[in-house]
Structures are given as structure tokens and as C-alpha cells.
Amino acid sequence: MASAFNYPPEIKGKRKLYSLLKGVNHPLEVFSRNHEFAGDNFYINATLTHKKFIFSQDKEFVEYILKQNHKNYYKSEIQSVTLRKYLGKGLLTNNGKDWLRQRRLIQPGFSKVKIMNLVSIMQDEIDRSFKLFETRSETDLYVFFHKLTFNIVAKTLFSSDIDEEMTDELSRIITDVQEVSTKEVRLPFYAKFLALFGVIRKAVMKSKKARQIIQSILDKRRASSEEKNDLLDMLIQTRYEDTQQPMMDEQLVDEMLILFIAGHETTANALSFIFYEISRNPEAEKKLNKEILDEGESVFTAESLMKRSYTLNIIKEAMRLHSPAWAIDREALEDDSFKEYSWPKGTQIILYISGLHRNIKYWENADAFIPERFDDENSKNFPYYPFGAGPRLCIGEHFALMEMALVVRRFYRDFSFQSYQNQLKKKVLVTLRPVSVKGKIISK
């Protein structure tokens, strides 16, 4: 019986079997090869799970899903169900009216103006961390940035209300929970064994422990009645438009837990990729050093960090080549169509951002590191979505860009990084991360 829907070219037979088996551990390779074979859009019918998947690295299709018809698409079960039991009902895992209500509540606190007030907190933590390089010349920057970005989130959220011991405990718990949740998301059949042997239950208990720590910090802040102009103050003081009531504690804790995870993981990955690319491109490092000198005393001010600059061009280009958010998943709420294609409700849409960012249809010298391409006046129209797009554009975009610009400038003012690696091995989990970025720190 002929299908009532007109799907993109289908991946089937041996190629489908290869995709399903190898795609678990090597999704970038599998997705890229399938796109080479079938074009910018392809379809897979996962017979065993009775789910239909459309994959795309096409600019117009991506914008249709994320912007023009976003109301017909929710985040898939991967985030709205699987991750929710660990992270609660925050912005990352929520859908529909609940998500929109929370987004409207929290959005003003992440405006450029509000984020600029956090520069001094970030700067203090960065300076403290960089003291390590005065005594240690060799390092793995991926490990270093993971700790640094976690500490920055902790301090911008909680200021002095969180000490190093508490930060380390939260970091250990969240790392353990991420390891389990990632396995459950990427290996759904293996998840049954994780549940059988109590691994998932233990991870959920650890998540509850993290919530207890965050709740204790919240209680301490309320009891002190002290204003600290950090993100926690912003979350406590916000009020819903319709009721003028604040968030309940349970919701507050959920949002803070998600800010911890989303606020450090992708930024640590991005910084690792940025520093690797700078180390491989001496001319880019020279131009960066010149800009740091030319900016003079204003080089670390919020205004300088957030304006168009070569620093931001480097960050954008590294995130184009190595997008931490390498794919975006959505699920169709109703039947839909775009151009010649159509699909039923329940179809899983996988927007392959890493593929789009290297698609030769849109990018000249797509695999080359060329920060200058973002000098183009038309760069705003590039098919470039490292933070997503549409109403669900990452709420922390300004925070992350300012933080990364500050880290890059403060490092390259005093140091240089010489990578030991000619090639960068990557690990594809919920986010794209390097296995390591080992090298030598050179003082100027």
C-alpha cells in the first residue's frame, strides 16, 4: 500500500542497518555519509520502534521547523521525558504553555544589560584559575575548562554563598548524572540493563542530592535578605505576568540545576575547540593579540567583550566547525509538509547542525578555519545555529559569548597555547566534546 506521505529519500537495506548499528557510537560519520548519499534531507523508518525519522542539513527546512512552524514541534521524548527525571521541569526539558510561561519569566534576566553586570564575578574566577599556569606548563585544556566553566556558573548563580567544597560536590554529582543520562538517551536498549541493575535509580538519587544542596543555598540567601546582584537574585525576584507571584522553590531549584548543566558543559566544549583552532592557526593568534593590545584598558569591559570583534569571529568560527549542540531534535504534533515533502504527526525530526555548518552549498571552504568570514555584512543571514533558533534560541547565548570572549582575551594577554595534537578526537554524546586538548602553556 502506497504511503499517504511523501518523505525525503529513504535510507534502507544495508545502509539502514549500518546507520542503526554504527550510528549509536559514530553519529557524525553516519549522518554525514547518509547526507552525501541521499542529499540534504533523508528519511529512516525505524521498524523495531515504529518511529519515523527525518534528518536534515538544509537551511530552509531547519528554519521552517525552528521558526516558521515551531508551534507544531515539541522537543522529543529524549529531553522532555528521559532527561526530565534527572533535571526536573526547567526550560531545557519543558514544552508547551509551561515552557512559554517560564521562558517569559526568566528571559529578562538574561538580557545583554543584565549579563554585563556579571563580568566582574566571571573575571575574578578566571584570574584565580589562571594562576595554575604560573606553575604548570602542560595541561589538558578540556579538563581545565570543564572545571573553570562550572565554577563560573556557580559564582554567577550564587556569589559567595557557595564554597569550593560545595562546588566540587555538585560538580561530581552532576558529572555522574550526566554519564548515566547520556547512556540512557543514546542507548535505549541498554537503558533496560541500567534500570535492572539500579544504575538509573542511583543517578536519580544523586540528582535529588544536588537539589538538596541548591535548596540549602536558596534557604541561606532568603534568610540573609542580602542582595548580591547575581543570577539567584534575579530568579528570586522575578514575578509571573498573570499572577505577580514568584516561582515556587521546586521550580527555582529545577531551573538552577539546568543552568548548572547547560551553562558549563557546552561552554567548556566550545572553549576547548576554540583554543585548539587558535593553536593551529598562527595568523589568527597574531590578529587576536593585536586586537587585545589595540583595545587597551577597555579590553575586558562588558561593552568591548560584546561588540563585534575579531575575538567573537574566532569564537563563532570555531563553533561553526565544532558545534557543541551538534543536532536538534523535534517531534511533530500534527501532520505537516514542506515543499515537496510531507510527514505524519509523531515523526521525529533531527536537524543536523554540524552538517549544516559544513554544508558546501552555504559555506565557501567549509572545512577551513576562517574567522574573517564573519566580517561579512551578510553574516546574520548565514545558516548558523550553534545556539538554536526561533523561540527556543538558547537563553544563555549572551552569557556564553561574553564568558568565552573574556576567557580568550585574558588568556592570550598573558599566555599562548601550543597543542600537542595534529588531529582532534571528538566524543559525540548529547553534546559534542573533544576527548582531550593536551598541550603546553607558554607565558609571554
What is the reported pLDDT for 1? 47
pTM confidence score? 0.93
Which triple of cell numbers denotes residue 195? 534500570
Structural domain tally of the chain?
Answer: 2
- Taking CB atoms within 8 Å and a gap of at least 24, the contacts of 293-300 are 299/409, 299/413, 300/119, 300/123, 300/406, 300/409, 300/410
If we measure between CA atoms, which residue out of 101, 78, 429, 88 comes closest to residue 257? 88
Q: Where are the alpha helices (DSSP H) in 1-48?
A: 13-22, 27-38
| SS3 (DSSP) at 303 | helix
pLDDT for the residue numbered 186:
63
406 is in an annotated binding site: no
pLDDT in tens, 232-274: 888 888 888 888 888 899 999 998 888 888 888 899 999 999 9
Domain range for 10: 1-87+326-385
Contacts for 333-338: CB closer than 8 Å, 24+ residues apart? 333/72, 333/73, 333/74, 334/72, 335/5, 336/69, 336/72, 337/6, 338/60, 338/61, 338/64
1 and 37 in a single domain? The answer is yes
Tens of pLDDT, residue by residue over 29-80, are 999 999 999 999 999 998 776 789 999 999 999 999 999 999 999 987 767 6
Q: What is the pLDDT of residues 297-330, one digit of tens each?
A: 999 999 999 999 999 999 999 999 999 999 999 9
Q: What is the enclosing helix (H) or strand (E) of 433?
A: strand 432-434
- What is the C-alpha to C-alpha distance for residues 373 and 13, in angstroms, rounded to an integer? 40
155 and 180 inside one domain: yes
Half-sphere exposure of 434 (CA within 13 A, CB side): 28
Of 176, 190, 125, 111, the closest CA to residue 153 belongs to: 125
Residues 225, 269, single domain; the answer is yes
Least confident of 170-184, 212-226, 311-325, 327-341: 170-184
Q: For residue 2, give the C-alpha cell.
A: 502506497
Domain final residue, candidates 385, 405, 436: 385
Whole-number mean pLDDT of the chain? Answer: 90
Position 284: which residue type? A
Q: Distance (Å, rounded) from C-alpha 55 to C-alpha 352?
A: 7
Spatial distance between the Cα atoms of 172 and 194, rounded to a whole number of angstroms: 20
For residue 323, the SS3 value is coil
Centroid of chain to Cα 236: 25
Q: For residue 93, what pLDDT band results from cuts at 50, 70 and 90?
A: confident
Name the residue among 284, 264, 265 with its Cα closest to residue 274: 284
**Residue 98 pLDDT grade (very low, low, confident, very high; cuts 50, 70, 90):** confident
Decide: 337 and 343 in contact? Cβ < 8 Å.
yes
The x, y and z cell numbers of residue 164, run together, are 569550593
**Do 117 and 202 belong together in one domain?**
yes
pLDDT at 2 over 60: no
In a shared domain, residues 223 and 332: no
Q: Are residues 208 and 298 in the same domain?
A: yes
The CATH number of whichever domain residue 46 belongs to comes to 3.30.43.20
Distance, CA of 311 to CA of 319 (rounded, Å): 13
User: What backbone phi and psi angles, to 5 degrees, belong to 426?
Assistant: -120, 150
